[in-house]
Amino acid sequence: MNILLSFLNLLLYIAIILFVAYVLLWVIRDWFGWTVDANVMKFGQIIVGLICLIAIVVWLTSVLGGGPGLPHFWAFR
């Protein structure tokens, strides 16, 4: 059950990362009216992908007993 809860925590963590990236893109496009260059967009997607990959690797190492794990938003009791 703890692995399921930690996996759901990982999914929540990734969803927050993707949401923040989408909100930043939305603010830049709609509020400021700027266009994002294709190279900048690709570089931003690579960075967001790497952050998500780091979160997955940290979760896997914590499941296998190698690290403290992701920061969690609530305490498991």
Q: How do the domains of the chain map onto residue ranges? A: 2-63
How high is the pLDDT of residue 71?
66
How high is the pLDDT of residue 77?
56
Q: What is the pLDDT of residues 22-37, one digit of tens each?
A: 999 999 999 998 998 9
> For the chain, what's the residue count?
77
**Full-model pTM:** 0.81
How high is the pLDDT of residue 3?
83
Q: Are 62 and 6 in contact (CB under 8 A)?
A: yes
How high is the pLDDT of residue 75?
61
Q: Give the E-state strand segments of the chain in sequence order.
A: none
Residues near 76 by Cβ (< 8 Å), separated by ≥ 6? Answer: 2, 5
- Which residue stretches of the chain have pLDDT < 50? none
Cα dihedral 34, 40, 43, 47 sign = negative
CB atoms within 10 A of CB 70: 18
How high is the pLDDT of residue 11?
93
How high is the pLDDT of residue 50?
97
